[in-house]
């Protein structure tokens, strides 16, 4: 029973540490910049290409 308690406590500590690390070191400014770049690329309107000239046979 004591072994199970130790494993559960260790798992909880690792889980808690992972969550705290992500929240502290998550680069919000870089993520926002990347999201803006992706949005700009998605919404970018491509210029229509001129129709190909008919070939004379």
Distance from first CA to last CA of the chain, Å, rounded?
88
Alpha helices in the chain (DSSP H): 2-25, 28-43
**Residue 27: DSSP 8-state:** -
Q: Considering the entire predicted model, what is its pTM?
A: 0.34
What contacts 34, CB < 8 A, 6 or more positions away? none
So what's the pLDDT on residue 4?
A: 92
Q: What digits encode the pLDDT tens for the residues 1-57? A: 788 999 999 999 988 877 765 556 667 888 899 889 988 888 886 656 667 767 766
């Amino acid at each position: 029973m004591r072994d199970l308690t130790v494993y559960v406590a260790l798992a909880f500590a690792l889980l808690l540490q992972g969550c705290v690390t992500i929240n502290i070191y998550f680069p919000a400014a870089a993520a926002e910049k990347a999201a803006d770049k992706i949005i700009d690329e998605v919404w970018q309107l491509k210029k229509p290409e001129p129709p190909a000239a008919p070939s004379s046979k």
